[in-house]
């Protein structure tokens, strides 16, 4: 599993034979200047903090590479450290061999060769090779992608035998391989990219990896979507989502029939562990979780056909909480059935008076984020019902699910969300006056569009870094993601039909004087992905529409709460996150007319 260590000033490594951990990296030494005196706020000193994002050890553990991220400037940096055993005390700080700027992904090919990709703005397009020699180091360019919509990253297979350069867009794939087992590390193309051909894993000889040599390993049944994969020994382990949106592990032995392991019904997210040199290569360790279930460790032994689970105290994961997970399907306007995942603590028939928080995304072929969040668990314990609507445009049901809501199909995501709300209400789950919608980034598009069309379906809305001005953003080619995003939203400048479609649903361009649900918008001043100008323009136009409506109907109670804009880069990240969630919860309780949250019950000892 990718190592993420937050707010550390030192990194320690424990060598065999050492009684105490040995410091190998001091983040303060590589941060440049520790403090920077600014001219604002009475020359208040501002401390730079670095967090470790990823750690990679070379094959024989002679070098360590660690990627760092500055919490104040979002600056990316990779440091390479030479590891040596120490025989005498005191220990001097370990020597940092090299510092590389703007590194996004990296992997060791040998103890002296590191491949890495760089991030310029929001685009990763170049791969470099670092050679560490006795006289210093040498950096050479390995690959450069010319297409602006292609994202490049470096990866290493589980057995550390093949290094891959993955070049993916939303409509094509191209993978380059480097066989580490040979002395020639020059990457070669598996299969040149073709429009609408996306490939990630195929079975083919390394000597002839093109499409003519591909062998089909597994064909998913209709409605089953492959989300991830790993190779464990002689088995290919596929992470799949079933037609009813449950997670499953499908084990495909390379020489025997496949097996399938259905995970607990509450499982919504899975993270696999990347094995270290000391880990067994014939088993797969992973964590499963849901928005209200903390991560639980599991271990799969494909050869023995064993799936083991448990928590650190030996208790069964299923007994951790008495939460109910219900899988539903709502029929959309065109007859398509849209999955809905509902979390609750009492039977569905008793949820009529329960407050409901509805989550949605539906863009870029990405699944709705369903990892664990402590605040969701708290809300469930306070009597809320939590619904996750897997509308078209996301990736829950594969490429076709995404493509049905691209460009000309974007309105389908809005229709799907509306159908989900109607279905929940028809089952007796909450009511519009007790319902709030929440979304972030591109998920704000279906929410904002639904607020314009059917504002009485919900009482409140919270949006984080919301994408609300689709037309204005896609017209501005100077923005970093506009050209890349044309496959998702369309080209309103060069295609009049695309412009007409975007104008029909764009949240900003369809605001009208009417009653709107109360809204809490959170925006960031340095966000390159969601331009702040669009959020501000939306807020001002919505305020004008509400004011016009209020002047005609004075009893209208809609309000737009726009808190002070937060900088996108900040030091007190943890404190800010807690404050943001507290503000959102306070807003929801106030707007839905709920009693203040009950204090948690004290556990009996």
pLDDT at res. 427: 97
More confident residue, 416 or 302: 416
> Are residues 71 and 183 both part of a single domain?
yes
* 264 in any annotated domain: yes
Q: Which helix (H) or strand (E) holds 482?
A: none
If one compares 6 and 144, the residue with the highest pLDDT of the two is: 144
pLDDT for residue 600 is more than 90: no
CATH number at residue 183: 2.130.10.120
* DSSP bridge partners of 277: none
Task: Indicate the number of domains in the chain.
Answer: 3
369 domain residue, yes or no: yes
Whether residue 240 lies inside any domain: the answer is yes
DSSP string, 249-284: EEEEESSS--EEEEPPTT--EEEEPPP-TTS-TT-E
**By residue range, what is the domain housing residue 119?**
47-191
Decide if 203 is inside a domain.
Answer: no
Note whether residue 313 is domain-resident: no
Residues 354 and 294 in one domain: no
* Separation of alpha carbons 288 and 382, rounded Å: 24
The C-alpha atoms of residue 223 and residue 229 are separated, in whole angstroms, by 18
596: pLDDT confidence band, cut at 50, 70 and 90? confident
Looking up residue 479, the CATH number of its domain turns out to be 3.40.50.1820
- Last residue within a domain, chosen from 174, 191, 208: 191
Of 12-26, 168-182, 463-477, least confident by mean pLDDT is 12-26
For 401-413, how does the pLDDT look when each residue is reduced to its tens digit (9 = 90+)?
A: 999 999 999 999 9
The Cα–Cα gap between 35 and 47 comes to 5
pLDDT at 40: 44
Distance between alpha carbon 81 and the CA centroid of its chain, in Å? 29
- Check whether residue 368 and residue 266 sit in a common domain: no
The pTM for the full model equals: 0.78
Q: Which of 168, 191, 214 is the last residue of a domain?
A: 191
* 473 and 522 fall within a common domain: yes
pLDDT per residue as tens digits for the range 99-158: 899 999 999 999 999 999 999 878 899 999 999 988 889 999 999 998 888 999 999 988
pLDDT band at 537 (very low <50, low <70, confident <90, very high): very high
Q: What angle do CA 133, 139, 145 make, to 5 degrees?
A: 150
Q: Distance of CA 23 to CAs 15, 19, 278, Å? A: 11, 13, 20
Q: Are residues 51 and 167 in the same domain?
A: yes
Average pLDDT over residues 350-360: 97
Higher pLDDT pick, 447 / 602? 447
Residue 571, classed as helix, strand or coil, is: coil
421, 500: one domain: yes
Same domain flag for 301 and 352 = no
Give yes or no for a contact between 317 and 311, defined as CB atoms under 8 angstroms apart: yes
Please determine, for residue 581, whether its predicted confidence score (pLDDT) is greater than 80.
yes
Q: Is the pLDDT of residue 10 over 50?
A: no
447/357 Cα distance (integer angstroms) = 13
Asked which of 275, 308, 341 is the last residue of a domain, the reply is: 308
* Sign, Cα dihedral of 565, 69, 33, 90: positive
Q: What is the pLDDT of residues 50-61, one digit of tens each?
A: 788 889 999 888
More confident residue, 582 or 605: 582
Of 307 and 561, the structure prediction assigns the larger pLDDT to 307
pLDDT band at residue 561 under the 50/70/90 scheme:
low
How high does pLDDT run on average in the chain?
82
Respond yes or no on whether the N-terminal peptide bond of residue 90 is cis (omega within 30° of 0): yes
Whether residue 479 is found in the same domain as residue 530: yes
The region of weakest confidence among 235-244, 269-278, 535-544, 560-569 is: 560-569
pLDDT for 441:
94
pLDDT of 315 over the 70 cut: no
**Could you please report the per-residue DSSP string of 514-541?**
S---EEEEE-BTT-SSS-HHHHHHHHHH
Q: Which residues contact 351 (CB under 8 A, 6 or more apart)?
A: 344, 385, 428, 429, 430
- Judge whether residue 309 has pLDDT over 70: yes
Residues 490 and 424 in one domain: yes
Confirm whether 2 is domain-assigned: no
Asked if residue 346 and residue 243 are part of one domain, the reply reads: no
């Amino acid at each position: 599993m990718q190592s993420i260590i937050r707010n550390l000033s030192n990194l320690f490594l424990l060598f065999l034979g050492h009684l105490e951990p040995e410091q190998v990296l001091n983040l303060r030494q590589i941060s440049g200047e520790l403090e920077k005196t600014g001219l604002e706020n009475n020359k208040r000193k501002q401390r730079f903090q670095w967090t470790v994002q990823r750690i990679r050890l070379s094959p024989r553990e002679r070098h360590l590479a660690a990627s760092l991220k500055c919490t104040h400037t979002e600056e990316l940096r990779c440091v390479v450290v030479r590891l040596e055993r120490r025989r005498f005390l005191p220990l001097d700080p370990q020597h940092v061999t090299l510092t590389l700027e703007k590194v996004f992904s990296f992997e060791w090919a040998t103890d002296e060769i590191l491949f890495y990709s760089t991030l310029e703005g929001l685009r990763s397009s170049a791969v470099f090779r670092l050679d560490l020699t006795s006289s210093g180091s040498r950096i050479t360019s390995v690959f450069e992608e010319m297409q602006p919509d292609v994202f490049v990253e470096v990866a290493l297979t589980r057995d550390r035998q093949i290094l891959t350069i993955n070049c993916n867009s939303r409509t094509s794939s191209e993978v380059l391989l480097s066989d580490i087992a040979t002395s020639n590390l020059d990457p070669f193309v598996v299969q040149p990219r073709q429009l609408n051909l996306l490939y990630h894993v195929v079975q083919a000889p390394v000597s002839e990896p093109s499409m003519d040599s591909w062998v089909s390993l597994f064909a998913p049944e209709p409605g089953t979507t492959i989300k991830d994969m790993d190779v464990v020994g002689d088995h290919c382990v596929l992470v799949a989502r079933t037609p009813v949106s449950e997670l499953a592990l499908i084990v495909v032995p390379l020489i025997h029939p496949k097996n399938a392991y259905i995970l607990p019904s509450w499982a919504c997210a899975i993270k696999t562990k990347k094995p270290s040199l000391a880990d067994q290569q014939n088993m797969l360790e992973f964590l499963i979780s849901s928005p209200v279930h903390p991560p639980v460790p599991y271990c799969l032994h494909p050869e023995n056909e064993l799936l083991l689970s448990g928590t650190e105290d030996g208790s069964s994961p299923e007994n951790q909480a008495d939460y109910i997970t219900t899988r539903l399907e709502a029929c959309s306007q065109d007859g398509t059935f849209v999955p809905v995942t509902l979390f609750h603590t009492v039977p569905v028939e008793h949820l009529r008076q329960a407050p409901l928080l509805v989550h949605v995304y539906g863009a870029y072929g990405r699944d709705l984020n369903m990892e664990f969040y402590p605040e969701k668990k708290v809300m469930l314990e306070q009597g809320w019902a939590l619904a996750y609507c897997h509308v078209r445009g996301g990736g829950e049901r594969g490429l076709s699910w995404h493509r049905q809501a691209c460009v000309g199909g974007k309105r389908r995501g809005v229709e799907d969300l509306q159908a989900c709300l109607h279905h929940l209400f028809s089952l007796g789950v909450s009511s519009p006056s007790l319902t709030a919608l929440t979304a972030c980034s591109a998920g704000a598009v279906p929410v904002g569009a639904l607020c314009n069309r059917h504002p009485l379906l919900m009482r409140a809305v919270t949006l984080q870094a919301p994408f609300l001005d689709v037309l204005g953003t896609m017209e501005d080619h100077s923005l970093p993601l506009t050209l890349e995003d044309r496959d998702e939203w369309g080209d309103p400048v060069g295609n009049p039909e695309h412009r007409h479609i975007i104008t029909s649903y764009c949240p900003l361009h369809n605001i009208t004087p009417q009653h709107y649900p109360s809204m809490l918008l959170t925006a960031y001043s340095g966000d390159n992905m969601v331009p702040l100008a669009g959020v501000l323009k939306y807020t001002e136009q919505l305020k004008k529409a509400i004011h016009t409506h209020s002047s005609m109907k004075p009893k209208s109670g809609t309000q737009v709460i726009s808190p002070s804009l937060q900088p996108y880069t900040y030091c007190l990240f943890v404190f800010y996150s807690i404050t943001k969630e507290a503000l959102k919860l306070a807003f929801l309780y106030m707007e839905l007319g709920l009693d203040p949250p009950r204090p948690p019950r004290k556990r009996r000892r």
